[in-house]
């Protein structure tokens, strides 16, 4: 006795195959949807903002007059922030990763730290803002200066760097460290001379991704109380500052006061996006160029 | 085969060399797995000692125990003693770095560092504090000559070691090991990833090296053991079934498991 | 305003700042350090404008930071140890705040910087409610009328949607305290933190009626309509001319202030200098930022009071 | 040749001796070896300190808040009027705004994300996958302030052009845009989960005459379910924590409503609003900030732990 | 060995079965690699056809071509024709799903779905539209009985298939394949991942199954081919060197490469 009726199977086959083919197109469209939004977003921003970008805009001081306004202060502010974020996250992030991957004994402490890191990665950035406000601005009394902002952003992106560094270290083949130990090298010598250099491209890629996250972060800075209007350029980490995303935020808010502020916001977004694309391109280049053959 | 072993018989059996390694009731566990069982072996200076046996019998484990590399696996525990030059090396107080400086190791897969050839060789001397450029240059040349790869690479010392062929890489690894002038060289199937021609060169090199160094070599290839070693230990399931002069093992083994293995009946 | 008028403004500023320079030559030593200002978002456009003017044309070495947390929030920052130097306020300081200042030993000085006309705005499509009496305005915002037709049967029978800045803003407090005389606002009023949102909301809602400072109306005349208010002598629409403590729009006119921490001014030359600058120049820039100037005599008196510090 | 070098060796440097000599002098390296792990542990504990800092900051200030406003009143209150003369601190309007915006976001990101993942892992050729995936990931890298601007100046007007009843600030538009932002996160993580399903599983299904679609939905997705679910949970936690998009595009009305055409405030936007320039210390409003932040933190913590739990629990053995 | 083949000779040679598969000048390339070269083979109904040959000779490629699974590799291109029951199946218009419903496949590594045993078996019938619980239950029992695993699993049908041993998993996969009542079953080294005992059960099963199904089995194990198949094709470098009755191939091969291979001289 046959349960599977081949003629019936055959009949249903057409609709099944058709369904497959139709849904394939649906899935493709879904994939392209995100890209279409991306294209619209970029198109909108560029058409609104591109006309406002000129030398004066890039190098000038802030102004209440749209034609005079420049974003050098914000660019410098963002740069100073990164000057803190990069070393701080690299030192803490790589240190933590080395500890977790190479020194920590498998056990409660190690898994506690690991859980903790993955939780920190999910804490909303605005909460980091409150942390920064309480700890750096108030308790440590730095005020709303670059240092406070930089440290706040550092903590925020730290999990990204840690995870990237952990992965990079894990990817270093064991036979390299074995060779080093086999020569009588100590653990730290092996870490310093073999493991870290081999993991470096991965670490740098992670750091760049972290930096590009930090560059665009606005929420924590709004909580820190960054001045809305500030002309002088920051000259050090103890100066008050404004940053590119904050400038975008304030101009967006004030578009009702002066219509052109919306275009300035768009122009600033272009600058920010270009910065991000450059950073990501560097990350990709590093990843491709320094990929070691083992 | 017989010709080869008899050839060597001449100087391997006659010399009455000093013992460099001596293991007493050595046992080793990976967690619950009993990987080495009551190993008692004496290994002699300036000889080639081959370790043979089927896969998983504990050959690698054994030679990694000799320089305590096996401890990189966190679950490892040992009992018994190993003395190296009359010092007990399994004591936790014994500095593994010192031991590993005197006992070099060559691995199955060539594992040069992703650095230049020059930096590969000087890695060992440098970590041990040798900084002088002149001395380092000398060490590089001497080690590369010692591993008979000098002529092939002398013009490209600054190039990345990964540009070399597999066989060259393995000789580079041997050179890297010679650079710190160890007394003993441990080799874990150094030719198993290589083509026959490269294998031959390494085998010749081993013959050359044993004038200066004591060599312990793990191999899957019985012909190789027969060709190059003075003594052979046959491992099975973590035990030493038989340990004797190589020609004895290959011609008149006293244990029939050895005979079975050598004649290819298992493994 | 197009860029033309802006150009004109520029010219006039240059002229005025030159004259200011000439007047104050004797004391125009190079100053540095910073001046920290927080407070009202309503006053912010004027203060921002003044700050820019000061930094560009007067004292390049001084950094004037202007923030805009809102009048009340600003006072919290102002009345604190190491607080801000100035606090902009779109209402008078409250007794509690004064008490706190005394408690902390902070000596404060009130500087009236300009006059604002609380403007009632509607959607451009709203062709009926172009004029309202003061009482109708109160009624609307206190929830006495639900539909437009409740006010006038000829008007649409549609629900009135009320909007305003939230309690963070002095504008709200002025409206609540001075216009509604502390009677509760209608419960479903849509209160917003950001003026841009507010303007957009009114501009997009046909049945909207909202209130905010004249400056926000002034900049968005294409998006919202100002309602003429009848205070008993015919409808008056707010403008720089009608706004004034004695003017026809007086009932909905309120002064805006900045409060100076006198201790800071004594301590830091740049703070004092900036206070003088504000007192002197506020009237010059009030108009272009949507405020009516205060009478000259009053301005002069304030300036003298400030000069009396030191 | 080698013999030569052997004899040279005697005449030249003696490395063994040099090493032995250096060793005697360089005892400090033993010290380094001892210090380094301790130093690294200290560095690693900074991440714990951060958590402690967050919890301490939030708890201590929130505690002050709950002294003034009973916790139950806070959690169950439907009215939020922090600045009014008779302030009321009900969490529900914010909770509502947060949940609704996250739900909208997930309604966009969930289906589109998973469909993209299916396309990329099951249908697309290697070449197409290699181009589309990084392009899609650009979406995840765009700063949220840019999305906020986009939602407010583009998406809202477009929605209102089609549905005039929608308010100028509403929860719908930021919710949708947040969804777009989360698409790549879900697509990418789900795709990873699906690609790691062994091919033998697909072959098994295809060999029975299943179409690709049937293979995907009946075999691959069930096998990758743990990864897919945890990508969803992470997406939700991202939506809950998202700040600038809602701050800019949803206004600050504290309506307790389920009408997505209206303005609502999320917990994150409340924090931005109230902290304004710099939060005035000491007032109840100031403390309410931390009470809300604490709630937010607890929410995302639960989500993160849930994601971990899910990916462990639902992992199919194969 | 000889006894076994002769045993079968009785019914394999005598029946004059219908041809199910017929390949004409079949060529296949993976990109540039020419993996199948001019294959001309006729495969008969209700016989066991064994495909033997050294690693990489194209055995897997060949049987995957028979149900067009090979097309999952995007670089594949083919020429020539394959007819299955007189229909040309390499045409792009031919629905692979249809073909695969009639031609089941069992893989080298058991690959049950990570679902219950019951769901594994019903997967096929369900996608083909069978919904009735009663029918499905019956199919499950019959398929599991057919793969002689029913007694072992009948009490645990709701349990995950991954709880079964390797040999049981493989029989489950065979049962899964039987559930859609194919005409032909392709097996790619179905026992190479199994222990000898499980292997024996599968071999017995194959003998059982050929009463109902045509079976094409790839195997590395020549004894296995000799034991269970009626016809044997010997592949070498993508070509069919020899194709004949199994006992002919194993006793009097006409090509000496076949003889070399069978006698263990290479591979
Ligand atoms: N890291 C480890 N953890 C647990 N068990 C291990 C580990 N390494 C090896 N073993 C076990 O110890 C035994 C001996 O392994 P070892 O690698 O020494 O064998 P071997 O003789 O070198 O084999 P091969 O010839 O395959 O290299 C084996 O049973 C192996 O499974
Ligand atoms: N996906 C692929 N892409 C490219 N070449 C392939 C692919 N699969 C197989 N080949 C090549 O095709 C040839 C035949 O491979 P096939 O897997 O059919 O051999 P086989 O006889 O089944 O070998 P084994 O006994 O090892 O399974 C080999 O040279 C192999 O390298
Ligand atoms: Mg080994
Ligand atoms: Mg195969």
The atom of ligand 1 lying closest to the CA of B54 is: 25
Q: Looking at domain B19-262, what is its CATH homologous superfamily?
A: P-loop containing nucleotide triphosphate hydrolases (3.40.50.300)
Where residue C193 falls among pLDDT bands split at 50, 70, 90? confident
Q: Is residue A157 pLDDT above 80, yes or no?
A: yes
Tally of domains within chain A? 2
- State pLDDT tens for residues E216-238: 999 988 888 999 999 999 999 99
Angstroms from A113 CA to nearest CA on chain B: 20
Whole-Å CA distances, C22 to C15, C56, C296: 11, 16, 19
Q: Is residue D293 pLDDT above 60, yes or no?
A: yes
Q: Is residue E81 pLDDT above 90, yes or no?
A: yes
Higher-confidence residue of C2 and A118: namely A118
Residue B7 is predicted with a pLDDT of: 39
Q: Within a domain: residue D75?
A: no
D173 and D271 assigned to the same domain: yes
Q: Within a domain: residue D74?
A: no
Mean pLDDT of chain C: 84
Distance CA C55, CA C49 (A): 10
For residue C38, the chain D residues in CB contact (below 8 A) are 277-278
CB A227 within 8 A of CB A240: yes
Residue D315 is predicted with a pLDDT of: 67
Structure tokens at B94: 């014994």
Q: Are strands C131-133 and C228-230 parallel, antiparallel or unpaired?
A: parallel
Q: If you measure from the C-alpha of residue B221 to the centroid of ligand 1, how many angstroms do you get, rounded to a whole number?
A: 18
Q: Which of D58, D54, D56, D64 is nearest to D282 (CA)?
A: D64
Quick one: average pLDDT of A126-152?
91
Structure tokens at E91: 């045409």
Distance CA C258, CA C47 (A): 9
Where residue C7 falls among pLDDT bands split at 50, 70, 90? very low
- State pLDDT tens for residues C45-104: 899 999 999 998 888 888 899 988 778 778 888 888 888 999 998 888 888 889 989 998
Q: Within a domain: residue D73?
A: no
Quick one: average pLDDT of D226-242?
91
Does the Cβ of B61 fall within 6 Å of ligand 1?
Answer: yes
Residue A294 is predicted with a pLDDT of: 53
Q: What is the ipTM of this complex?
A: 0.81
Q: Which of D1, D19, D23 sits opposite B148 (nearest CB)?
A: D1
Residue E266 is predicted with a pLDDT of: 53
Residue C13 is predicted with a pLDDT of: 42
List B residues 77-106 in contact with A (Cβ-Cβ < 8 A): 97-102, 104-105
For ligand 2, atom 2: residue with the closest CA: E30
Question: Lowest-pLDDT range, A97-111, C26-40, C179-193?
Answer: C26-40
Question: Lowest-pLDDT range, D278-292, E87-101, E144-158?
Answer: D278-292
Assess D167–C contact: CB distance below 8 Å, yes or no.
Answer: yes
Sheet with C86-89, strands from edge to edge, namely: C62-66, C33-39, C86-89, C253-261, C108-117
Distance CA D243, CA D248 (A): 9
D242 and D96 assigned to the same domain: yes
List A residues 32-91 in contact with C (Cβ-Cβ < 8 A): 62-65, 67
Quick one: average pLDDT of A86-97?
95
Distance CA A71, CA B27 (A): 71
Q: Which of A2, A4, A16 sits opposite E97 (nearest CB)?
A: A16
Where residue C1 falls among pLDDT bands split at 50, 70, 90? very low
Domain range for A153 = 57-290
D62 and D119 assigned to the same domain: no
Whole-Å CA distances, B14 to B47, B244, B249, D69: 11, 14, 17, 95
- State pLDDT tens for residues B10-40: 333 445 678 999 999 999 999 899 999 999 9
Percent of chain D clearing pLDDT 90 (strictly above):
46
Residue B166 is predicted with a pLDDT of: 87
A139 and A25 assigned to the same domain: no
Whole-Å CA distances, B133 to A276, B122, B129, B159, E142: 44, 10, 12, 18, 80
- Reduced to 3 states (helix: H, G, I; strand: E, B; else coil), residue C87 is strand
Domain range for D40 = 2-68
Whole-Å CA distances, B153 to A142, B120, B185, D5, D228: 58, 13, 23, 16, 52
> Most E CBs within 10 Å: which of D209, D218, D318, as the mutation test of the E interface?
D209
CATH number at residue A141: 1.10.3720.10
CB E22 within 8 A of CB E43: yes
Distance CA E90, CA E164 (A): 37
Structure tokens at B26: 């050595």
Q: If you measure from the C-alpha of residue E78 to the centroid of ligand 2, how many angstroms do you get, rounded to a whole number?
A: 15
Q: Within a domain: residue A11?
A: yes
Distance CA E162, CA E176 (A): 14
Mean pLDDT of chain E: 87
Residue B6 is predicted with a pLDDT of: 39
For ligand 2, atom 30: residue with the closest CA: E56
Tell me whether residues C196 and A240 touch, CB distance under 8 A.
no
Distance CA A148, CA A136 (A): 5
D294 and D179 assigned to the same domain: yes
Distance CA E70, CA E76 (A): 7
A12 and A71 assigned to the same domain: no
C187-C189-C190 Cα angle (round to 5)? 135
Q: What is the Cα gyration radius of chain D?
A: 28
Assess A8–E contact: CB distance below 8 Å, yes or no.
Answer: yes
For residue A16, the chain D residues in CB contact (below 8 A) are 211, 213-214
CB C58 within 8 A of CB C20: yes
Does the Cβ of B1 fall within 6 Å of ligand 1?
Answer: no
Q: Within a domain: residue A173?
A: yes
Quick one: average pLDDT of A136-150?
90
CB C52 within 8 A of CB A64: yes
C87-A127-D299 Cα angle (round to 5)? 135
Assess D132–A contact: CB distance below 8 Å, yes or no.
Answer: yes
Where residue C120 falls among pLDDT bands split at 50, 70, 90? very high
Quick one: average pLDDT of D244-257?
85
Where residue E1 falls among pLDDT bands split at 50, 70, 90? very low
Residue B73, class by beta-carbon neighbours within 10 Å (0-12 exposed, 13-18 middle, 19+ buried)?
exposed
Structure tokens at C67: 């923030």
CB C257 within 8 A of CB C111: yes
Structure tokens at B88: 């007990």
Q: Is residue C12 pLDDT above 60, yes or no?
A: no
Q: Is residue C303 pLDDT above 80, yes or no?
A: yes
Residue B83, class by beta-carbon neighbours within 10 Å (0-12 exposed, 13-18 middle, 19+ buried)?
middle
Residue C246, class by beta-carbon neighbours within 10 Å (0-12 exposed, 13-18 middle, 19+ buried)?
exposed
Q: If you write DSSP's letter for every residue of C148-211 in order, what string do you get? A: GGGT-TTS-S-B-EEEEE-TTSHHHHHIIIIISTTPPPPTT-EEES-HHHHHHHHHH-TTEEEE
Decide which of D37, D68, D99 is a domain's last residue: D68
Q: Within a domain: residue A1?
A: no
Assess A229–C contact: CB distance below 8 Å, yes or no.
Answer: yes
Distance CA D281, CA C82 (A): 13
Structure tokens at B1: 């085969």
Q: Is residue E167 pLDDT above 50, yes or no?
A: yes
Tell me whether residues B72 and A186 touch, CB distance under 8 A.
no
For ligand 2, atom 6: residue with the closest CA: E30
Tally of domains within chain D? 2
* Chain C residue nearest residue D83, CA to CA: C167
Q: If you measure from the C-alpha of residue E219 to the centroid of ligand 4, how many angstroms do you get, rounded to a whole number?
A: 9
Where residue C187 falls among pLDDT bands split at 50, 70, 90? confident
Contacts of C292 (CB under 8 A, 6+ apart): C114, C115, C116, C117, C214, C240, C243, C244, C247, C253, C286
Structure tokens at C24: 């104050």
Ligand nearest to the CA of residue E188, numbered in listed order:
4
Single pTM value for the model: 0.84
Residue E261 is predicted with a pLDDT of: 84
D256 and D162 assigned to the same domain: yes
Where residue E82 falls among pLDDT bands split at 50, 70, 90? very high
CATH number at residue D156: 1.10.3720.10
Residue C148 is predicted with a pLDDT of: 93
CB E125 within 8 A of CB E180: yes
A171 and A77 assigned to the same domain: yes
Tell me whether residues E160 and D200 touch, CB distance under 8 A.
no
Contacts of A246 (CB under 8 A, 6+ apart): A74, A77, A218, A221, A222, A226
Residue ranges, chain B, pLDDT below 70 = 1-16, 264-267
Q: Is residue D2 pLDDT above 70, yes or no?
A: no
3-class SS letters over C232-292: CCCEECCCCCCCCCCCCCHHHEEEEEEEEEHHHHHHCHHHHHHHHHHHHHHHHHHHHHCCE
Q: Which of D130, D115, D191, E92 is nearest to A25 (CA)?
A: D115
Mean pLDDT of chain B: 87
CB E48 within 8 A of CB E226: no
A43 and A175 assigned to the same domain: no
Residue D139 is predicted with a pLDDT of: 86
A109 and A146 assigned to the same domain: yes
Percent of chain D clearing pLDDT 70 (strictly above):
90
D62 and D184 assigned to the same domain: no
* Chain A residue nearest residue E102, CA to CA: A6
D93 and D52 assigned to the same domain: no
Mark residue D174 as left, alpha or beta (left: phi above 0; alpha: psi -120 to 50; beta: remaining). Answer: alpha
């Amino acid at each position: 006795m046959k349960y599977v009726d081949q003629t019936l199977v055959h009949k249903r086959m057409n609709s099944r195959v058709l369904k497959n083919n139709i849904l394939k197109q649906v899935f493709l469209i879904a994939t392209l949807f995100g890209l279409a939004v991306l294209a619209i977003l970029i198109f909108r921003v560029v058409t609104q903002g591109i006309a406002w970008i000129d030398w004066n805009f890039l190098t000038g001081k802030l102004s209440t007059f749209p034609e005079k306004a420049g974003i050098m202060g914000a660019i410098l502010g963002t740069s100073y922030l990164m000057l803190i974020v990069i070393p701080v996250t690299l030192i803490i992030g790589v240190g933590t990763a080395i500890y977790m991957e190479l020194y920590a004994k498998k056990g409660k402490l190690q898994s506690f730290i690991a859980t903790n890191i993955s939780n920190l990665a999910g804490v909303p950035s605005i909460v980091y803002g409150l942390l920064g406000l309480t700890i750096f601005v108030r308790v440590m009394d730095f005020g709303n200066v670059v240092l406070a902002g930089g440290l706040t952003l550092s903590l925020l992106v730290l999990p990204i760097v840690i995870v990237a560094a952990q992965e990079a270290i894990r990817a270093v083949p064991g036979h390299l460290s074995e060779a080093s130990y086999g020569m009588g090298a100590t653990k730290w010598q092996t870490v310093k001379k073999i493991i870290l250099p081999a993991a470096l491209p991965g670490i740098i890629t992670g750091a760049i991704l972290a930096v590009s996250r930090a560059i665009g972060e606005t929420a924590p800075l709004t909580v820190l109380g960054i001045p809305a209007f500030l002309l002088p350029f920051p000259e050090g980490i103890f100066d008050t500052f404004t940053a590119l995303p904050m400038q975008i935020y304030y101009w967006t808010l004030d578009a009702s006061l002066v219509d052109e502020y919306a275009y300035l916001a768009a122009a600033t977004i272009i600058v920010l996006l270009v910065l991000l694309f450059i950073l990501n391109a560097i990350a990709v280049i590093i990843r491709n160029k320094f990929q070691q053959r083992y | 085969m017989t010709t080869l072993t008899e050839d060597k018989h001449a100087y391997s059996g006659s010399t009455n060399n000093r013992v460099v390694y001596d293991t007493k009731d050595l046992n080793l566990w990976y967690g619950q797995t009993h990987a080495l069982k009551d190993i008692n072996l004496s290994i002699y200076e300036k000889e080639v000692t081959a370790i043979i046996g089927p896969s998983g019998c504990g050959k690698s484990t054994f030679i990694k125990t000799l320089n305590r590399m096996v401890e990189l696996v966190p679950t490892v525990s040992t009992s018994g003693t190993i003395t190296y030059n009359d010092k007990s090396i399994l004591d936790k107080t014994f500095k593994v770095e010192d031991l590993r400086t005197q006992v070099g190791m060559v691995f199955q897969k060539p594992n040069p560092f992703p650095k230049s050839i020059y930096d590969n060789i000087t890695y060992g001397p440098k970590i041990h504090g040798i900084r002088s450029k002149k001395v380092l240059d000398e060490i590089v040349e001497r080690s590369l000559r010692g591993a008979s790869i000098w002529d092939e690479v002398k013009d490209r010392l600054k190039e990345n070691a990964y540009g070399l062929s597999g066989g060259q890489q393995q000789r580079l690894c041997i050179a890297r090991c010679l650079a710190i002038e160890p007394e003993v060289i441990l080799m874990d199937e150094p030719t198993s990833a290589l083509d026959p021609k490269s294998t031959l060169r390494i085998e010749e090199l081993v013959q050359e090296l044993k004038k200066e160094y004591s060599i312990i070599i793990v191999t899957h290839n019985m012909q190789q053991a027969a060709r190059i070693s003075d003594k052979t230990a046959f491992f099975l399931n973590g035990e030493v079934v038989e340990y004797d002069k190589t020609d004895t093992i290959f011609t008149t083994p006293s244990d029939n498991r050895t005979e079975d293995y050598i004649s290819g009946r298992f493994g | 305003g197009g860029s033309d008028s802006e150009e004109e403004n520029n010219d006039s500023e240059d002229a005025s700042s030159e004259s200011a320079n000439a007047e104050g030559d004797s004391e125009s030593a190079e100053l540095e350090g910073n001046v920290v200002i927080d407070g009202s978002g309503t006053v912010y456009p004027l203060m921002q404008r003044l700050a820019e003017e000061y930094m560009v044309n007067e004292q390049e070495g001084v950094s004037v930071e202007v923030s805009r947390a809102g009048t009340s929030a600003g006072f919290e920052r102002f009345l604190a140890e190491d607080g801000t130097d100035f606090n902009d306020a779109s209402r008078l300081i409250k007794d509690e705040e004064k008490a706190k200042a005394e408690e902390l030993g902070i000596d404060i000085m009130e500087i009236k910087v300009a006059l604002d006309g609380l403007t009632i705005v509607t959607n451009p499509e709203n062709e009926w409610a172009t004029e309202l009496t003061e009482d109708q305005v109160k009624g609307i915002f206190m929830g006495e009328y639900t539909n437009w037709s409740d006010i006038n049967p000829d008007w649409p029978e549609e629900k009135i949607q009320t909007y305003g800045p939230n309690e963070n803003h002095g504008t709200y407090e002025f409206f609540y305290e001075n216009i509604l005389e502390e009677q509760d606002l209608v419960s479903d009023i849509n209160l917003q933190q950001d003026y841009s949102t507010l303007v957009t909301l009114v501009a997009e809602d046909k049945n909207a009626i909202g209130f905010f400072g004249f400056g926000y109306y002034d900049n968005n005349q294409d998006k919202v309509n100002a309602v003429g208010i009848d205070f008993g002598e015919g409808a008056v629409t707010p403008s720089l001319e009608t706004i004034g403590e004695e003017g026809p729009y007086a009932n909905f006119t309120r002064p805006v202030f900045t409060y100076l921490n006198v201790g800071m001014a004594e301590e830091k030359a740049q703070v004092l200098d900036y206070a003088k600058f504000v007192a002197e120049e506020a009237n010059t820039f009030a108009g272009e930022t949507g405020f009516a100037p205060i009478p000259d005599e009053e301005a002069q008196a304030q300036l003298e009071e400030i000069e009396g510090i030191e | 040749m080698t013999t030569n070098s052997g004899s040279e060796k005697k005449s030249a440097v003696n490395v063994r001796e040099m090493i032995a000599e250096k060793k005697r002098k360089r005892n400090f390296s033993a010290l380094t070896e001892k210090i380094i792990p301790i130093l690294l542990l200290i560095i690693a504990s900074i991440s714990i300190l951060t958590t402690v800092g967050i919890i301490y900051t939030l708890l201590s200030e929130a505690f002050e808040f709950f002294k003034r406003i009973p916790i139950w009143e806070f959690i169950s209150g439907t009215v939020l009027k922090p600045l009014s003369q008779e302030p009321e601190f009900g969490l529900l309007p914010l909770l509502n705004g947060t949940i609704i915006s996250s739900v909208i976001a997930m309604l966009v990101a969930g289906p589109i994300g998973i469909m993209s993942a299916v396309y990329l892992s099951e249908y697309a050729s290697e070449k197409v996958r290699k181009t589309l995936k990084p392009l899609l990931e650009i979406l995840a890298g765009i700063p949220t302030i840019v999305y906020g601007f986009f939602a407010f100046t583009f998406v809202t007007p477009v929605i209102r052009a089609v549905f005039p009843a929608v308010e100028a600030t509403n929860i719908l538009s930021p919710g949708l845009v947040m969804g777009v932002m989360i698409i790549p996160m879900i697509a990418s993580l789900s795709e990873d989960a699906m690609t790691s399903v062994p091919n033998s599983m697909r072959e098994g299904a295809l060999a029975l005459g299943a179409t690709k679609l049937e293979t995907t939905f009946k075999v691959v997705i069930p096998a990758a379910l743990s990864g897919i679910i945890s990508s969803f949970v992470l997406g939700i936690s991202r939506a809950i924590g998202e700040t600038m998009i809602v701050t800019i595009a949803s206004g600050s009305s504290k309506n307790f409503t389920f009408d997505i055409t209206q303005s609502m405030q999320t917990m994150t936007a409340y924090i931005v609003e109230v902290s304004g320039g710099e939060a005035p210390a000491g007032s109840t409003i100031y403390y309410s900030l931390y009470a809300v932040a604490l709630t937010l933190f607890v929410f995302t913590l639960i989500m993160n732990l849930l994601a971990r739990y899910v990916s462990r629990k639902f992992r199919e053995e194969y």
